[in-house]
Chain A
Amino acid sequence: MDLNNPKTFTRLFGLPMSALLFFLGVFPLTLIVYVSLTDWYPIAGQQYFWDSRFIGLGNFVEFSQDALFGGSILRTVIVVVVAISLELVFGLILALLFMDRFRGKTILTSIVLLPMMTVPAVTGYIFRMLFLYAGPVNDALSGIAGTRVSVGWLTSAWPALASVILMDVWQWTPLMFLILLSGLLALPQDPINAAYVLGASKWQAFRHIMLPMMKPIILVGVVIRTMDAIKIFDGVFLMTHGGPGYSTQTLSLFLYEIGFKYMRLGYTAAMALTVLVCLALFTRYVAIKPLKPKV
């Protein structure tokens, strides 16, 4: 081994960190793959994972037929799609408004970013209070309507889901705003100015010049938020506990329940692994591939 060779030297010194990363990544991944192929269930007396039975793809077959798992996926997709769409629209509007200088911009920016700095669990609890039957939201609606409005925000399936989406939009629109604002500020001004010179309106310039140039930034924002929104847990847990019934039970809540309440660790490992693989494929083909320059 030639230690004078810079490449060899670099690789040698990088080896401990590589080993650590493999230990933190490969070992747990190997373990979860193994556990997903067993029926590890401590409540059945299986104290350690080596006490469990190897059942092959049994867990995968089971969850493919599990209506509750399917339901949690569907609800999560609904929350993600609707919430992120709204965050994108509101974030873009805010970013466009904040593009130019104006008085008080710094303070307003800080105010806009405040929701993002709130702990998600606190947000969940606040929204639960807001959406109570006799809570401020219904009071505000009553004031606007001039008559008593009593929407059961947390007592019916779809209003509860809508409340969860609203909570997510309130909290994470600022992040989308930040990403899009930075993208807008980095756009080259020449094509935009040229469009104005040629008589394009602001909307035309935005739609045909700015928006296409923003595509990579938008994609980054959507991917970042998607990765995060799929894991939504704290706020929903405190706001609705996944109820009423199962109507706001998202994927994370479902996995938490099966894994930590029911202790069906093999089953949870199988579901979590499948979700991980699906997300990895999504990231690779939906997010990264479109961003690669076409040769």
Chain B
Amino acid sequence: MGRENKPAEKPRRDFLKTAGAGVVGLAVGAAAGYGVSASMAPPPGGVVTRTVTETVTAAGTAPAVARVAGATAKERALNGVKALKAAGQIPSGTRLATYYYAGSKGTITATQKEWEDSTGILLDLVEVPVELAYDKIMMEATAKTGTPDVFITQYRQMGDLARAKVIAELTDWAYKYDPVLRGAPFGYIYPVDLQEATYAGKIWAMPIDCDTQTFYYRKDLLEDPKEQEGFEKQYGYPLPVKGAETWDQYLDMIKFFHRPPDLFGCYEHRSLYWSWMCWEVRYACKKFPVNYYFDDDMNPLIASPEGIKAMEQYVATVPFMDPDWPTLTWAEVYPRMASGKGLVTQNFPSFAKYANTPEVSKVVGKLLYADPPGEYVDTPSGKKLLRSNSMFGGWSAFVNAYSKNTELAYLYTQWAFSPENMPLVSTDPGSFADPSRYVQVYDPRQVGPEGSGKFPIEYMQGTVGSAVDGYVHRTSISAPDVLMEGGSEMYNIIDKYLSSACHKEMSATDAAQKTAAEWTKVIERLGRDRMKEVNKWFKTVYPMDVLGIVPG
């Protein structure tokens, strides 16, 4: 008679079997996981870029890295592709995956055919929603798939992307192939080259789009004698027919012209993700020479008296907006303003083109293009009117650090957004890329008369009360977004508190103070000492040579 299993032994044996299977499974899983992650591990030394040991001066000191032949940036990029092919570094059938932001496919397709015909390298295009572009790209920080090769997102996210090692540094390639970043007539409009291409002193992106702000007023309403008489009677000073000079005047104007449901005082961005854009310009002008976001110890200045004033001014406009303001993005604001429903909109440059298109706009020829209002601030020579602007948004093309074809991807961005191609990009009907190079400001393909569906000449080449070209002028006084690590989180934080303040869930002061407190946490998490060093660089991308001070 064999020994029978006792009841207690049976469960124990089953348990041991199950546990054993579990351990085997765990070991198999761990081994597989290790194998996968080991294959993703960086090569010895990490992602390395070559250090340029010499700089080229105007006199032509021999560079450490030889420049590629080619009379133009476009030609040099093409020659670079040919050289890579000749060296066998581009296998046959190579394709470049490119993410572009929704609604702006023309940014890529404007030159896609020429690229593909010239190089034989096909582009795979993927549209991503604007609000999700950053999220999708940041997944590469963990996934490291190498797809896409090129992506387009907002320049303010550059700090996060660079520090998370998601984007490839382009400095060496920029030196080698020279994309002509700087200087008229072919370079980027100052300070786009600084703000949208560089971070912490290195080059990380190819700018595409210059989102300097413009205030678009209904000129016909401002020039109406009856309106002028009514305004002066009510407010005791003449209606600013060339646009508000101060934020107080701006508020008076939108109050006066707020006549719902047919006319609203103003259209500004207040929906989540976009709301901070219209706060920045109010903040930038509150201190001479510039109102920085942080002091030298990286303490946020958002809740300073100037910061609170900016936030109060931002909230004060809400009662004079379209009641749908919480949900309106630029895609909805454009048609509403172009249908004549607002006195003024604070918006992107591309609105000038949209509003000048007779098929969609009822305000063709009726718009005044003005600089942002400003604030009287203390300067060494007394109180002066400071009219700063802000570069709110702005899209740049980046190369995925994990792409299998980083140099090729860089060459594509240099080629596609070269001085030669940029006019094609920004004039494509499917593109919302705004002129970002000097050469585009005067390009006849881009600039046209009123009602032509192009950027009006007056908008690009004239400005109120100044002989300086309007578009270039407004760009040259544009403070940058918070271009540093943690910037995306900081914008998300202020976005929500601005929204809460606009919805009267808290006061502007509370919103500013809570924002400052949350921003401080972000700084602490990233390391205050490191952020102080970043801030030193960040201050250098503020446009210092034109401070928007109105003389006299």
A contacts, CB < 8 Å to B: 11, 15, 18-23, 26-27, 30-31, 41-45, 47-48, 128, 132-134, 150, 152, 154-157, 240-247, 257, 260-265
Contact = CB atoms under 8 A, between A and B. Distances in A.
Contacts of A21: 25
B25 A246 contact: no
Interface stretch (B95-103, B189-197, B388-396, B483-491): B483-491
Contacts of A247: 503, 505
A18 B160 contact: no
Contact of A45 (B135, B165, B325, B503): B165
B91 interface: no
Q: Closest 7 A-B residue pairs measured CB to CB?
A: A22-B25, A245-B500, A23-B29, A27-B29, A133-B323, A42-B164, A42-B141
B163 A44 contact: yes
Given A132-B324, A244-B503, 8 more contacts: A11-B17, A42-B142, A43-B526, A45-B163, A154-B326, A241-B131, A244-B500, A263-B160
Interface of B: 17, 21-22, 24-26, 28-30, 32-33, 37, 40-42, 46, 131, 134-135, 138-139, 141-142, 160, 163-166, 261, 271-273, 322-327, 485-486, 488-489, 492, 496-497, 499-500, 502-503, 505, 525-527
Nearest to B46: A47
Q: Among B40, B141, B166, find the residue whose CB has the most chain A CB atoms closer than 10 A.
A: B141
B483 to A, nearest CB: 14
A148 to B, nearest CB: 9
Nearest to A241: B272
B40 to A, nearest CB: 8
A31 B499 CA distance: 37
Contacts of B139: 260
A22 B499 contact: no
Contacts of B142: 42, 265
Given A23-B32, A242-B272, A262 B503 contact: no
B134 A18 contact: no
A55 to B, nearest CB: 12
B21 A243 contact: no
B505 A48 contact: no
A261 B271 CA distance: 18
22 contacts: A19-B29, A23-B29, A42-B141, A43-B163, A43-B164, A44-B485, A44-B526, A47-B42, A48-B41, A133-B324, A134-B324, A152-B326, A157-B503, A242-B496, A243-B272, A244-B272, A245-B500, A245-B503, A260-B138, A260-B139, A261-B488, A262-B489
Contacts of B41: 48
B486 A43 contact: yes
A262 B29 contact: no
B503 to A, nearest CB: 4
A41 B24 CA distance: 32
A111 B271 CA distance: 35
A122 to B, nearest CB: 14
A27 B33 contact: yes
B467 to A, nearest CB: 43
Contacts of A27: 26, 29-30, 32-33
B525 A44 contact: yes
B34 to A, nearest CB: 10
A47 B505 contact: no
Nearest to A17: B25
Residue among A26, A43, A156, A241 having the largest count of chain B Cβ atoms under 10 Å: A43
Contact of A261 (B26, B135, B327, B502): B135
A83 to B, nearest CB: 22
A170 B273 CA distance: 27
A227 to B, nearest CB: 25
Nearest to B261: A134
B188 to A, nearest CB: 27
Contacts of A154: 326-327
Contacts of B22: 18, 22, 26
A245 B271 CA distance: 10
A20 to B, nearest CB: 8
Looking at A15, A242, A263, the one whose CB has the most chain B CB atoms below 10 A away is A263
Contacts of A240: 272
A155 B26 contact: no
Residue among A42, A245, A247 with most chain B CB within 10 A:
A245
A43 B324 contact: no
Contacts of A48: 37, 40-42
A240 B131 CA distance: 13
Contacts of A22: 21-22, 25-26, 28-29
Nearest to A257: B492
A240 B327 CA distance: 8
B408 to A, nearest CB: 23
B416 to A, nearest CB: 28
